[in-house]
Structure 1
Amino acid sequence: MITTAPARPAAARGLHTADVAAVIVLAATCVVALLTFRDFGMGWDDYAHAEYGGLLLRLYGSGFTDRRALSFVNLYAYGGGFDMLAALAAKVLPFPLFETRRLVGAVIGIAGLAMTWRIARRLGGPLAGFVAVTLLATCPLYVGHMFINPKDVPFAVAMLAATLGFVRAFSEYPHPTVPTTALLGLGLGLSFGTRVMGALAAVPAAAAFLLIIAAEARRSDLRAALWRAGEFLLRLVPALVVAYALMALIWPWSVVSPLNPLRALVYFSHFFEKPWKELFEGALLSVAEMPRRYVPELFALTTPELFWAFGIAGIVAALAGAVQRDRPLNRRASLVFLAVSVVFPIAFTVVTKPAMYNGLRHFVFVLPPMAVLGGLVGALLAERFGGSARRKALIAAAVLAVGLAHAVIGMVRLHPYQYTYFNAVAGGLQAADGRFMRDYWGLSLKQASHSLLDALAARGELATREHKVKVAICGPQRPVRLALGKNYPTDWQPQGADYAISLNEFYCAPLDAPVIAEVVRDGVVFARIYDIRGRDIPSLLTLAPP
C-alpha cells in the first residue's frame, strides 16, 4: 500500500540524494534536447499547425479583423497555444520555424517532467520524485512525442499542471491558497484551451471530492461536510475565471459563441474523417473497428516494462489506500485523483470503442500520472531495504538502470524516431515490423530527402534552377519540399518523376526499381529512395493514404 512522506520544514529537509539524482535526470534531458532537437523531421500535420499559429497571431495583430483562424480547416476546434508560442518563438530564435517548433515542444515536455517530479515528491518524498521523473524521462512514447507532437504532449502537460493544482487544492482543503487557485486556473485553462478533452479532468476531481465529502460526513455529520465542500468550491471560483480567460486567449473560437466548446465536444465525440485502415496485429483494420484491446495492448507493448509494472502497482495501491481511514484524507484524495486520471480514459475507451489510430499518441496524457504512481511504488519498495537515504537512492537508481536499459538503448538506436519504440515483451521493433504501425507520423522523410541529396551529390547530379529533378512521394510532401528545396518539384504521382521517396508502411507499394538509399533503424526500414527514371510506375500506393 502506498504511504506518503510527511511534510517537513524546508530548513530540515536539506539537499536529499534523490533530489540531486532527479535534477541530474532533468539536466541530462535538457542537454539531450538541446543537442538533438534539430534532428526531428516534420509529419503529416506540421505545416497546417504552423499555418494555424500564424493565423492566430494575425487574428490578434489585426485587431480581430483577420478572422481566418476561426475557420481554418478543423483546427479552429482545437486550441492553438502551442502553435502561437512556436510562431512567436520563431520570430526571436535563430532557427527555422520547424526546428523552433521542435525546440518549443522539447521545452514543454521537460516542463512536464519537472511537474511530474514535483507532484510525486509532494506526495511521496524525494525518492518518489526521482523514480517518477526517471520513469517518464525514459519512456520513449513521451520523449519521442514531446519533440514532434503539437497537440497531445502540450495537452498532457496542461493536464499535468491541472493535476498539480488539484493535488495542492486537496492538500489545503477546504481553504486553497491564492497561488494554488491560480495554478489550478492556469492548468484548467491550458487544458481546455488545448483540447476540449480537458473535460476529462472532471471525473478524477469528482471522485476525489466525493471521497472527502463521504469521509468527513462519516467522521462528523453530512451538513458540516457539505458546508466545507461548498466553501471549498466557492474559493475555487476564481480558478474558473482564470481558466476561461486563458482558454479564450489560446482558443479564441471557443468564446466566439458561448456554446462553441460544447459544439467541439460533440464534433470530437464522433469520428469526423473518412475512416481509413491501419495495421494492428498484422491485419489491416478500419480505425473505426479497432478491437477494444487496442489501447491496453499497445500500452503493454510500447512502454517500458518497468514503467507499466510500477504504474499498475501504483494504481492498485492508490485505490486500496483510499479506503484506509487511518491515512490522511487529503492525501487519499490526491491518490484517488491520480489513479482515476489513468484508469478512466483507458476504461472509457475500452467500453465505448471509439475510432482508434496512430498508436497511443492520443493517450500521452495518462503517462505522467502513471509515472507519479509508479514513483510512489518505487519509493515504497526502496524504503523496504532500509538504511540511509543515500543507500535507498542508490538502490532505486540501480533498479531503474537495469529495468529501463532496454528503453534507453532503444531510444538511442531509434533516434530520432523514439516514438516507434516497442519493448522486450513485444520482441522489439523488428518483431513489431509488419504487425503494427511504426513511423505513422512520416518523420523519416526528412532523412530520406537528405539521403537523396547525398546520393545525387556523389553522382554530380544535383538539381539546378535550369535542370530540376522531380520527386514522387508516398507520405507527407511538405517535409520533402522543405528538405529538398524549389529545384525538386514533388507530386503524389510517379509519372514523369525521376526519383521516388516512399515510407515503408503498408499503404506505400514496393516499387520495381533500383533502391539508392534506405532509412533504417534497428534493422527495420523506415523509408526508401528509388530511382524510377524511365520506368512505368502506375502508382506509389497500395491503398488511399491515411
Structure 2
Amino acid sequence: MSLQSSEFPAAAAAPAAHGRRALTLTRVVSLAVFAAIAAWIVLTFRDYGISNDEYVQHTYGQLLVAWYASGFTDDRAFHYINLYLYGGLFDLVAAGLEHYVPLPVYEWRHLLSASCGFVGLIGVWRLARLLGGEKAGILAVLMLAFTGMYGGAMFTHTKDVPFAAAMVWSLYFVTVCAVQFPRAPGWRSVLGLGLAIGSAFGLRVGGVFAVFYLVLAVATGMVLLRDWRLPLRLAPRIAVAAAIALAITAATWPWSMLPPTNLFKAMGAFSNFAFDMTTLFNGQEYPIDHIPPSYMPEYLAIKLPEITLLGLMAALAAVLVAGFALLRRGGALAALRHALAAHPRRVLGFLPLVLAILVPMAFAVLDDPPLYNGIRHFLFVLPPVTVLAALGLQAAWRGLSARSRVAGAGFALAALALFAFNAVSFLRMHPYEYVAYNQLVGGTAGAWGRFEGDYWSTSLREAALKLRQGVEHEGPAGRRYTVSVCAEDVQASTYLGPNFDLVEEWDDADFLLAARHVGCDGAPGLPYASVSREGIPLAAIVDMRMHRKSIVPPGVTPSEDDEGFDLAPPVATLKDGTAQVAKAKP
C-alpha cells in the first residue's frame, strides 16, 4: 500500500511526465540494492565468529525440539538456565533444521540470523516507502545495512536482530492499519500484523511494545477522527490478529503459555533481573543494575553512523520549520489543533514511527532496567530511527532544492560523502562491524577502553585460525598443543582443529586465547599474535610455554616487567601477516 501524496508530501510522486519512468528506475535500484546485500550475506557469513551465548541458545533450541519430539513430556527447556524467559523462535528453527542443512551448525545459525536481518531490511524499505516514497526506502535500507550494529550484528546477534526484524514488520503493519482508519484494515494487513507481533513475542517478551503502539494508534485515531465507535469496528479483525499472534507465541515459546500468566512473569523478570556483571560506560565499570539513566540514549547516539545523525538533525529541523510556520498563523495551541484537524491521516501515519523511537527510550531511562552490551537489548530501535533519518535527509534535500538547486546539490554531495565515509569504516571493521563507534567519541579508536568493545568475543575465531596456522610452522606435523580460552571454549575449539586440547588452567596451557574486553590482560607469557582492526586489539594469543617452563629464549632479555600482553619479544612474520615468537638461531 502507498499513501497519497496529499496525505504525505514526503511521498510526493515525480512530475506526471516522468512519474512512471522514475518509479521504474527507483524500483530497479531497490532490487539492485537488495541483490547486493543478499550477495554480501552469502559471501561473508562464514567470516563471523561464534558469540559467547550461542552454545546455550542453540542448546535451548534443541531442548525445545526435544519437548515436541517427546510428546510434550521432556520439559527441560522450561528449566534451562534463564533462557525459558525468552521466546525460542529462532533457536527452534535453527535446531530443528540443523540436520537438513549442509553447513556446520554455527555457520548455519549465522546464515539464518543474517537472513532474518535481510527480512528486517525489507520491512524497513516497506515502512520508509509507505511514509516517504521509494527513494526514502532505498536511503533507509542503505543506511541501516551500513550501520555496524545492524548490518554487522545481523550475523552474530542471533536473538537481537531477528527480534528487530519482527518489530519493524510489526511497526509497518500497525502503520498500514492506522492510515486506513476509520476503515477496518484489510485481511492481508490483519494476517501480517498477527504474524509480525507473534514472531516478536516468539523471540522476546518485548513484543509487548508493538501491542502498545497499536493500542495508542487506535486511541489516537478515535480522537482525531472523532469516531468513538472505531475500537468496536476494529475489534473483530484485531481479535483475529491476536489469535494468530498467540498461536505463534504458544508454538515457539510454550513456557509462556503454560500457564499464560508466565508472560507477565517474563515481563517482570526483564525489568528487575540482575546478576553479577558489570558494563563499561564512559570509562567506568557499572553493575548492570546500577547504570546511569543516560546509558541507552548515549550509547545509541555514539553507535549510529554519522549519516544517520545528520538525517535525524534534518528531521528535527523539518519539524521545527513546520512548527514555526504553524505558529505564524496564530497561537501555538490553535495552530496545533488546526494541524491535527486538517491532517489527521498524516498524524496517524507518523505516530507509530515516533512511538517506536520514543517509548523504548523512555522505558530505558525511566524504568531503569538492568542493561549491558551497549544498545544490544534495544537494537530494535535502530530500524525506526534509520527510517526517520532517511525521511529527514529527503525532506532537507527537497527543502533546500526548492530554494536553490545549488544548495540542494551541495547537501546531496555532502550526505553522499558522509555515507561513503561510513561505508568505508564499516568495511574496514569486517567482520567486527558491530564494534564500531562514530566520531562523537573519536571513532572506534576513541571509544576503546571507554565503552563496550567486542563483547561477543567473536574475534576468537580469527585468533584460533591464526594460532592453528602459526603452529603448522613449528615442530613435526601432528604435534599436540594445549590451549586455554578466556571466553567460551566453543568459540575457539570450533576452529582450532584436531591437534589442540583445551585445558581449564592457564598454567597448564601452551597458549592462551583471550578477547581483550573481558579482563584477561595481565596473563604471564609472550605475545604470539593478535587480532586487531583500526589499530584496536580485539583478541590476543599468548605463548605460555616460556612462562610454564621458566625458559627464556636466547636473544630475549629477562625483565621484571616480563608479563602481560604489552611485552614485545622478537617476532617473525609469516607470509600471511601472522606474527609469532621468533626462534633463536642454533
TM-score by length of 2: 0.83
Residue 488 of structure 1 deviates from its aligned partner by 2.1
Question: Which one is further off, 447-456 or 279-288?
Answer: 279-288
Q: Is the Cα contact below 8 Å between 1:41 and 1:445 reproduced in 2?
A: yes
Which residue does 1:220 correspond to in 2? none
Map of 1:223-302 to 2, 5 A cutoff? 225-274=227-276, 276-302=277-303
Q: Is the Cα contact below 8 Å between 2:284 and 2:450 reproduced in 1?
A: yes
Which residue does 2:484 correspond to in 1? 472
Residue 285 of structure 1 deviates from its aligned partner by 2.1
Map of 1:45-194 to 2, 5 A cutoff? 45-173=53-181, 174-194=183-203
1:522 is aligned, of 521, 524, 534, to: 534
Which residue does 1:211 correspond to in 2? 220
1:422 is aligned, of 423, 434, 437, to: 437
**Counterparts of 2:79 and 2:299 in 1: how far apart (Å)?**
35
> Does residue 464 of structure 2 align to residue 455 of structure 1?
no
1:407 is aligned, of 404, 422, 426, to: 422
Letter in 1 for 2:454: D
Residue 272 of structure 1 deviates from its aligned partner by 3.5
- Where 1:415 maps in the other structure, the secondary structure is coil
**Counterparts of 1:519 and 1:479 in 2: how far apart (Å)?**
14
Which residue does 1:372 correspond to in 2? 387
Query: Are the structure 2 counterparts of residues 314 and 245 from structure 1 closer, same or farther at C-alpha, using a change threshold of 3 Å?
Result: farther
Residue 421 of structure 1 deviates from its aligned partner by 0.3
**Counterparts of 1:110 and 1:393 in 2: how far apart (Å)?**
32
Cα deviation code 1:65-86 (max 9, x no counterpart): 3322222221111111111222
**Counterparts of 2:145 and 2:390 in 1: how far apart (Å)?**
12
2:211 is aligned, of 202, 207, 223, to: 202
RMSD: 2.9
Residue 303 of structure 1 deviates from its aligned partner by 1.1
Query: Are the structure 2 counterparts of residues 196 and 437 from structure 1 closer, same or farther at C-alpha, using a change threshold of 3 Å?
Result: same
**Counterparts of 2:319 and 2:141 in 1: how far apart (Å)?**
18
Query: Are the structure 2 counterparts of residues 435 and 235 from structure 1 closer, same or farther at C-alpha, using a change threshold of 3 Å?
Result: same
**Counterparts of 2:20 and 2:123 in 1: how far apart (Å)?**
20
Cα deviation code 1:88-139 (max 9, x no counterpart): 4433332111001111111110111111011111121112112211221111
Query: Are the structure 2 counterparts of residues 393 and 84 from structure 1 closer, same or farther at C-alpha, using a change threshold of 3 Å?
Result: farther
**Counterparts of 2:340 and 2:280 in 1: how far apart (Å)?**
48
Residue 279 of structure 1 deviates from its aligned partner by 2.2
Could you say which structure has the greater relative contact order, defined with CA pairs below 8 angstroms and 6 or more residues apart?
1
Which residue does 1:351 correspond to in 2? 366
Cα deviation code 1:152-198 (max 9, x no counterpart): 11111111111111111112223111101000001110111110111
> Does residue 43 of structure 2 align to residue 35 of structure 1?
yes
**Counterparts of 1:164 and 1:285 in 2: how far apart (Å)?**
36
**Counterparts of 1:366 and 1:396 in 2: how far apart (Å)?**
26
**Counterparts of 2:414 and 2:30 in 1: how far apart (Å)?**
15
Which residue does 2:554 correspond to in 1? none
Instruction: Name stretches of at least 5 consecutive residues in structure 2 with no aligned partner.
Output: 1-6, 324-335, 550-562, 566-586
- Where 1:489 maps in the other structure, the secondary structure is strand
Which residue does 2:515 correspond to in 1? 503
Letter in 1 for 2:292: P
Q: Is the Cα contact below 8 Å between 1:176 and 1:235 reproduced in 2?
A: yes
Q: Is the Cα contact below 8 Å between 2:170 and 2:197 reproduced in 1?
A: yes
Query: Are the structure 2 counterparts of residues 128 and 20 from structure 1 closer, same or farther at C-alpha, using a change threshold of 3 Å?
Result: same
Cα deviation code 1:235-272 (max 9, x no counterpart): 21100000000111111111121211111111112124
> Does residue 550 of structure 2 align to residue 535 of structure 1?
no
**Counterparts of 1:3 and 1:200 in 2: how far apart (Å)?**
28
Residue 313 of structure 1 deviates from its aligned partner by 4.5
**Counterparts of 2:538 and 2:161 in 1: how far apart (Å)?**
23
**Counterparts of 1:342 and 1:289 in 2: how far apart (Å)?**
23
Cα deviation code 1:327-348 (max 9, x no counterpart): 5423311211111110111122
**Counterparts of 2:176 and 2:101 in 1: how far apart (Å)?**
35
**Counterparts of 1:229 and 1:526 in 2: how far apart (Å)?**
53
Cα deviation code 1:390-443 (max 9, x no counterpart): x99998874543122232111111111000001122211211122112111000
- Where 2:545 maps in the other structure, the secondary structure is coil
Query: Are the structure 2 counterparts of residues 243 and 316 from structure 1 closer, same or farther at C-alpha, using a change threshold of 3 Å?
Result: farther
Which residue does 1:303 correspond to in 2? 304
Letter in 2 for 1:474: C
Larger radius of gyration: 2
Question: Which one is further off, 298-307 or 96-105?
Answer: 298-307
Letter in 2 for 1:529: I
Which residue does 1:3 correspond to in 2? 9
**Counterparts of 1:396 and 1:65 in 2: how far apart (Å)?**
63
Query: Are the structure 2 counterparts of residues 312 and 273 from structure 1 closer, same or farther at C-alpha, using a change threshold of 3 Å?
Result: farther
Which residue does 1:544 correspond to in 2? none
- Where 1:359 maps in the other structure, the secondary structure is coil
**Counterparts of 1:77 and 1:461 in 2: how far apart (Å)?**
50
**Counterparts of 1:198 and 1:296 in 2: how far apart (Å)?**
20
Question: Which one is further off, 157-166 or 484-493?
Answer: 484-493
Q: Is the Cα contact below 8 Å between 2:8 and 2:346 reproduced in 1?
A: no
Q: Is the Cα contact below 8 Å between 2:218 and 2:230 reproduced in 1?
A: no
Letter in 1 for 2:377: H
The total of aligned residue pairs comes to 526
Cα deviation code 1:283-326 (max 9, x no counterpart): 22222222112112212211112213323554685797886236
- Where 2:279 maps in the other structure, the secondary structure is strand
Residue 358 of structure 1 deviates from its aligned partner by 0.3
Which residue does 1:17 correspond to in 2? 25
Q: Is the Cα contact below 8 Å between 2:353 and 2:384 reproduced in 1?
A: yes
Taking only the aligned residue pairs, the percentage that are identical comes to 33
**Counterparts of 1:426 and 1:342 in 2: how far apart (Å)?**
23
Residue 151 of structure 1 deviates from its aligned partner by 1.2
Q: Is the Cα contact below 8 Å between 1:40 and 1:148 reproduced in 2?
A: yes
Which residue does 1:384 correspond to in 2? 399
Which residue does 2:345 correspond to in 1? 330
Residue 58 of structure 1 deviates from its aligned partner by 2.2
**Counterparts of 1:202 and 1:187 in 2: how far apart (Å)?**
11
Q: Is the Cα contact below 8 Å between 1:2 and 1:314 reproduced in 2?
A: no
- Where 1:226 maps in the other structure, the secondary structure is coil
Query: Are the structure 2 counterparts of residues 195 and 337 from structure 1 closer, same or farther at C-alpha, using a change threshold of 3 Å?
Result: same
- Where 2:11 maps in the other structure, the secondary structure is coil
1:488 is aligned, of 484, 500, 504, to: 500
Which residue does 1:222 correspond to in 2? none
- Where 2:93 maps in the other structure, the secondary structure is helix
Residue 386 of structure 1 deviates from its aligned partner by 5.2
**Counterparts of 2:481 and 2:142 in 1: how far apart (Å)?**
47
Q: Is the Cα contact below 8 Å between 2:163 and 2:203 reproduced in 1?
A: yes
Q: Is the Cα contact below 8 Å between 1:445 and 1:479 reproduced in 2?
A: yes
**Counterparts of 1:26 and 1:327 in 2: how far apart (Å)?**
37
Letter in 1 for 2:291: M
Letter in 2 for 1:350: V
Q: Is the Cα contact below 8 Å between 1:161 and 1:186 reproduced in 2?
A: no
> Does residue 458 of structure 2 align to residue 437 of structure 1?
no
**Counterparts of 1:312 and 1:131 in 2: how far apart (Å)?**
16
